[in-house]
Amino acid sequence: MSCPPPAQGTCSSQTGTDPIGAHQPDVKRTPWRFTRALGADGHSLPEVFSSVRVAPEGAGWLRRFLSFVGPGYMVAVGYMDPGNWATDLQGGAQFGYTLLSVIMISNLMAILLQALAARLGIVTGRDLAQACRDHFPPAISFVLWFTCELAIIACDLAEVIGTAVALQLLFHIPLLFGALISAFDALIVLFLMNRGFRYLEAFIIALLSIIAVCFGVQIVAAAPPVAAVMAGFLPRASVVTNPAMLYIAIGIIGATVMPHNLYLHSSIVQTRDYRRDDEGRKDALRWATLDSTVALMLALFINAAILIVSAAAFHGTGHQDVAEIEDAYRLLSPVLGMGLASTLFAVALLAAGTNSTVTGTLAGQIVMEGFLHLTIPHWARRLVTRGLAILPVVVVTALYGDHGVGKLLIFSQVVLSLQLPFAVIPLVMFVSDRRKMGRFTISPGMKTLSWAVAAIILLLNFKLLYDTLAA
């Protein structure tokens, strides 16, 4: 099969038509105002675009599903990074199981939003950053890029702190040296990407499995009361009316629904070599949605497990003031009566920090190339963003000592939450527009639900800002 000239779009290894014109520059066929991204065909992550073969359509459903498994777990990493630990630990210690409802609701929001991000990427062949640049005037695109970079730096900040704290707890490495060591994680990404995208996915899934096993053991050791845990999943008005609880609740939402994950997911779903026609897109969308839903249910388990262990160990034992990861580490083993509990906690934290840095690297590349059409070496990009994240850690540690880092970690998650509307609103706009999505436009019911989620996020953010300024 011969490929058309680059200006005419992509050439998949499988035949098919392209009725939506997702890759065509003719504005009469699509309202996207496409500009040429760097890379042979303007693809997102061009080095791995359509690089993963999928099982043929006649294969069994399990083979077919497994060939699409991977992107969802890479996205799920962001929903259990060290920032989640800080908010979940503090929420469990202060308020018991009450904020489990916030974890559940935010996870359901994440499942919906990530499904929309996958839909955008699969249907249009554009990631969210490219779509924003194509659609919005340059000034708005620049603002969206800037806010997304802030979110990535805030997320990086959480990863730096989490990795540094884990290294300190396990190997007694000073916090500042641990933060500096974390700057070289770009080597992991470069090595695995050179081996193939499947190797990167396998690495991520392996570390997620370690985290799940560690917290599974801790839940058994904590033996929380089942009735109290189940009651915690029921929403309560006090979450909104209590300013202290609301602050942590918004931090949980910011830590769970990660804005840069929407950019990441809309890109990496395109690594699969599915047919680029309507039927191929429909099939890919089904499997990609299932992949991310299952993966995010694992994230729900881990986030809930962190809060449950914290509530069981600290809330009812006179340790409600536990807010630092280091304090939780020191208290877990004696409180639970299990010598291995603290070690498992630190191992899981190190796995979470390492995992998050890998996906953060990809998200940073996608955002920079999509919004700015600027490509710099991955290691250089990673060292710049990691340097921006390390600087606040150094300053806070110098001024307030190691205990100030915990508050910085919570604050980073609130910053993430404040950036959410800048990613969520454009995403819902795009997948709701029939001119852009054709037959894949979301249904009226899904559109209503998606805008409701966006409205909830906006209202919570306005409430947080009001309470902060009024304090």
- 123: confidence class by pLDDT, cuts 50, 70, 90: very high
Which tens digits make up the pLDDT trace of 126-143? 999 999 999 999 999 998
pLDDT of amino acid 356: 78
Q: Is 9 contained in some domain?
A: no
CB-count exposure of residue 291 (10 Å: 0-12, 13-18, 19+): buried
Rounded Cα gap, residues 405 and 162, in angstroms: 10
pLDDT of amino acid 401: 60
Mean pLDDT of the region 137-156: 84
Q: Is 6 contained in some domain?
A: no
Rounded Cα gap, residues 232 and 215, in angstroms: 19
Range from 78-92, 200-214, 380-394 carrying the lowest mean pLDDT? 380-394
Rounded Cα gap, residues 387 and 127, in angstroms: 26
Which tens digits make up the pLDDT trace of 188-216? 777 777 788 888 899 989 989 999 999 88
- 29: confidence class by pLDDT, cuts 50, 70, 90: very low
Rounded Cα gap, residues 352 and 20, in angstroms: 39
pLDDT of amino acid 379: 64
Rounded Cα gap, residues 228 and 320, in angstroms: 17
Top pLDDT among 312 and 256 is at: 312
Half-sphere exposure (Cβ direction) of 348: Cα atoms closer than 13 Å:
25
pLDDT of amino acid 432: 94
pLDDT greater than 60 at residue 17: no
Burial profile 47-75: b = 16 or more Cβ within 10 angstroms, e = fewer: ebbbebebbeeeeeeeebbebbbbbbbbb
Q: Is 221 contained in some domain?
A: yes
Count Cβ atoms below 10 Å from residue 470 Cβ, excluding itself. 7
Q: Is 20 contained in some domain?
A: no
Mean pLDDT of the region 89-94: 88
Rounded Cα gap, residues 45 and 189, in angstroms: 13
Which tens digits make up the pLDDT trace of 38-74? 333 478 788 788 888 988 877 888 899 999 999 999 9
Which tens digits make up the pLDDT trace of 399-444? 666 566 666 666 766 777 677 788 899 999 999 999 889 999 999 9
CATH code where residue 314 lies: 1.20.1740.10
pLDDT greater than 80 at residue 94: yes
What is the value of pTM for the model shown?
A: 0.82
Name the 3-class secondary structure at 293. helix
pLDDT of amino acid 272: 93
Rounded Cα gap, residues 127 and 107, in angstroms: 22
Q: Is 294 contained in some domain?
A: yes
Question: How does DSSP classify residue 52?
Answer: B
The structure tokens listed for 316 are 């009812």
Residue range(s) defining the domain that contains residue 170 = 43-470
Mean pLDDT of the region 258-278: 89
126 Ramachandran zone, left/alpha/beta (phi>0; psi -120 to 50) = beta
CB-count exposure of residue 232 (10 Å: 0-12, 13-18, 19+): buried
Split into its structural domains, the chain has a count of 1
Burial profile 82-108: b = 16 or more Cβ within 10 angstroms, e = fewer: bbbbbbbbbbbbbbbbbbbbbbbbbbe
Q: Is 317 contained in some domain?
A: yes
CB-count exposure of residue 299 (10 Å: 0-12, 13-18, 19+): buried
Task: List C-alpha distances in Å: 260 to 34, 365, 433.
Answer: 22, 11, 22
Rounded Cα gap, residues 228 and 346, in angstroms: 26
- 16: confidence class by pLDDT, cuts 50, 70, 90: very low
Q: Is 446 contained in some domain?
A: yes
pLDDT of amino acid 22: 40
Bridge partners for 52 per DSSP: 272
pLDDT greater than 60 at residue 2: no
Rounded Cα gap, residues 207 and 351, in angstroms: 6
Mean pLDDT of the region 234-257: 80
Half-sphere exposure (Cβ direction) of 456: Cα atoms closer than 13 Å:
18
Task: Please report, in angstroms and rounded to a whole number, the separation of the first and last CA atoms in the chain.
Answer: 66
Top pLDDT among 422 and 12 is at: 422
Rounded Cα gap, residues 419 and 424, in angstroms: 9
Q: Is 331 contained in some domain?
A: yes
Calculate what percentage of the chain has a pLDDT beyond 90. Answer: 27
Q: What is the mean pLDDT of the chain?
A: 79
